[in-house]
Amino acid sequence: MNEKIFFDQAKQLYQDNELELIKKAYLFANRCHIDQMRESKEPFITHPLNVALFLMKMNLDATTIVAALLHDTVEDTCIKLEDIKKEFGNEVAKLVSGVTKLKQAVIYQENIKSYSAENIRRMFLAMAQDIRVVLIKLADRYHNMATLDYKEPKKRLEKARETLDIYAPLANRLCMGELKGQLEDYAFPILMPNEYNWVKGLTQKKIEERKKYIDKVIIDIKRKLKKANFKYIDIHGRAKHYYSLYKKLLRNNKNINEIYDIVALRIIVKDIPTCYAVLGLIHQNWRPLIGRIKDYIALPKTNGYQSIHTTVIRPDGEIIEIQIRTATMHEEAERGIAAHWQYDELGKPKNPAKLPAEKIAWIKKLTDWQKELPIKNRSEKFAESLKIDIFKDRIFAFTPKGDVLDLPENATPIDFAYQVHTEIGHRCKEVWINGHIASLDYKIKNGDVVNIVTSSIAKPKRDWLTFAKTSIAQSKIKDWFKKVDKDKNIAYGKRILNIELAQLGHKPIETVPKTKLSNALQKLNYHDLNGMLAALGEGEINLNQIIKAIYEEKEFLEKDDKKFIFFKKEPQPRAIISETGGFLTKIAKCCNPTINDKIKAHITRSEGASIHKYNCPELLKAEQGRIVDAKWDTDLKENFHAKIEVESLNRIGMIKDISTLLSNFNINIENFHSKQNPKKDTFILCLHLEIKNLDQFFEVLHEISKIEGIIDVRKV
């Protein structure tokens, strides 16, 4: 790239003192990268120069341009951040530091087909602190994608996947429509070469023909506007980006004839009244298609996009889409959030870091919400939420008072209710959509008026989690049940933990020394034992994590599902106790019987059955009534039989809900019967089940307890 082009552009935008700083930054960066080359064999300085020019064309402030020129110096040269701060000031240093951290964070790893949740979270935190960090990163990604052909195939795939899944949707959320389209079109042929070639082959000739036709239509429109004495700023055609076209073809059964904006016509005018006046003129001359008029001026898209779209039929039978907007709207549609930089009366940047609050409200809301997440698994939960809350298409819906709520596509009234207020969500009784009663799992459509009816006695239902789409709604519902079920979860967590400890030859959790327990709680980020037990009961943490935190000196082997623990030694043989089934067994350490020894079992009060050699001296010390016959289980079958009782409210569908849950666990119901409990107006369902193992047994008990109307679940 020619430095002259860069500085000629800079002279038109910046004051003398700003221009001097930009020149200083360019010379500094050039010295730092003097011996470095890019894969294209060009001098390395061409990259930061192109990044800075990209941002300069967006009219960003001089500080951002300086940081863009320097953005690779700390990562790729011997320059330290302190050097940047000393030469260019604290603000530039902060921007360079932010970009450096993002550049060091590989988001997608092609070899394991996975995203780094922590690095995604870090990006949004950086964006919340100063949006310019991410704008520099987007410009950096744009130039890297433009020169991606020089990278090795694996790196190309990695960068293309990141771009399509993260950076292009992010540009769209910042209303940078043109950049979004360009990033997608760079990634498209790398990730989907066959699909790209199909779209290009299908549409290339069509686009050229369409451009010629649109040029004729433009002449006709200009003539009609002049006759009506309407002034316009610009009228031009815009071809649809290939990847956007590909997605639209999929939605239209791959029929190119059903896509009317393959080349859209844009009319740019001076103000909003003229937009509507031009719309009226267009409809007077050409018949509009019903349902294809979209007024994004009165109701902007959730990323701020404004324009009027109409699709009309011309006298020759051709159908075209026409977009009408003001110059300001066009600027925002092209440059997005960067169009909102503040300027003084001379047209120079005034306060570049200050943006309209409503334009970045979603960033603040997102970062505030992630602070509420528990430290454990925070990054994973935050990254998961982005799939719905940021990288999905957005819709808008109205409250009865006319307030607009921004929601992800396929959001339900439950999502709407919790976005209004937590208590509105908790007390949601029913919903009316556009004046008609609707189900709570209804998928809200653009422009719906949603009226949430509340009741003081209403409360969340567990099945809401199956159709709530937003992270905020799901989080609030789970929090409610955590509070309601806390005692139950503590009891359940203690029970399964003590059983597992007994299986491993340890005493109950209550007897663990305070120091050891305190260390474990600190490692797992819990304030007290009950908090940890409740989390175990709720399923937020598993037995493996707790026992490893307490007994870290042991060597453990995790099963593939990372839930159950075994020592790194040969599996202990299982014993069958002749007296009764259902006892937990462990091998006694005093005599350590093997499968070739005759054995007996000592039934203990708190730790199940202890298996000894039949002549072990310890058996002589035990109560003889607690010594029973036992033999080794050489069959090695996993399944065992269990009986449970479920006490529940007498409601329609209860038995169906329980049987469906058991079916999902692939558990066979061998027999069942029910009986009424007249004292409590409840009924008790007795079930004979074939269970795979004890872990599954306790998990099933816990899941049954979550079903609406269940009062108690117990082993018989």
Note the pLDDT tens digit of each residue in 62-93: 999 999 999 988 888 888 888 999 999 998 99
Measured distance CA(179)–CA(160) in Å, rounded:
15
**How many whole angstroms separate alpha carbon 603 and alpha carbon 619?**
11
Give the containing element (helix H, strand E) for 613.
strand 609-613
Which of 1.10.10.10, 3.30.420.10, 3.40.50.2000, 3.30.460.10 is the CATH number of 194-338?
3.30.460.10
* pTM beyond 0.75, yes or no: no
Q: Tell me the C-alpha distance between 239 and 321, whole Å.
A: 11
Nearest 5°: CA angle at 602, between 598 and 606? 145
The CATH class given to the 392-484 domain equals alpha beta
Question: What pLDDT, on a 0 to 100 scale, did the predictor assign at position 357?
Answer: 52
The C-alpha atoms of residue 338 and residue 117 are separated, in whole angstroms, by 27
Question: Which segments within 455-584 are labelled E, that is strand?
Answer: 556-558, 565-567, 575-577
Q: What is 640-715's CATH number, 3.30.9.10, 3.40.630.10, 3.30.70.260, 3.30.420.10?
A: 3.30.70.260
Say how far apart CA 648 and CA 712 lie, in whole Å.
7
Task: Enumerate the CATH 3.10.20.30 domain ranges in the chain, comma separated.
Answer: 392-484
Q: Where are the beta strands (DSSP E) in 246-378?
A: 263-269, 287-288, 294-295, 308-313, 319-326
Residues of the chain with pLDDT under 50: 111-113, 116-117, 342-354, 369-380, 382-383, 386-391, 553-572, 579-582, 636-637
Q: Give the tokens for residue 207.
A: 């686009």
Q: Where in the chain is the domain with CATH 3.30.70.260?
A: 640-715
Place of tokens 């039934």: 603
Which CATH class for the 3-191 domain?
A: mainly alpha
Residue 628 tokens, joined = 């029973």
How high is the pLDDT of residue 159? 86
Specify whether the CB–CB gap between 54 and 6 falls below 8 A: no
Active-site residue identified among 3, 8, 75, 372: 75
Return d(Cα 352, Cα 633) in angstroms, integer.
75
Say how many C-beta atoms besides its own lie within 10 A of residue 349's C-beta.
Answer: 20
pLDDT of 124? 60
- Catalytic residue status for 76: yes
- Residue intervals of the chain classified under CATH 1.10.3210.10 are 3-191
- The CATH 3.30.460.10 domain(s) of the chain lie at 194-338
What pLDDT sits at residue 338?
62
CB 532 within 8 A of CB 541: yes
Interatomic CA distance for residues 617 and 600, integer angstroms: 12
DSSP output for 40-68: TSSBTTHHHHHHHHHHHHTT--HHHHHHH
Q: What is the pLDDT of residue 103?
A: 67
Give the pLDDT confidence score for residue 125 in this predicted structure.
Answer: 58
Length of the chain: 716
75 is a catalytic site residue: yes
**List 42, 76, 295, 406, catalytic entry:** 76
Q: What pLDDT score does 412 carry?
A: 93
pLDDT at 577: 61
Instruction: Give the separation between CA 136 and CA 703, rounded to whole angstroms.
Output: 48
Q: Which of 236, 365, 385 is nearest to 302 (CA)?
A: 365
Two tokens, residue 521: 């709680």
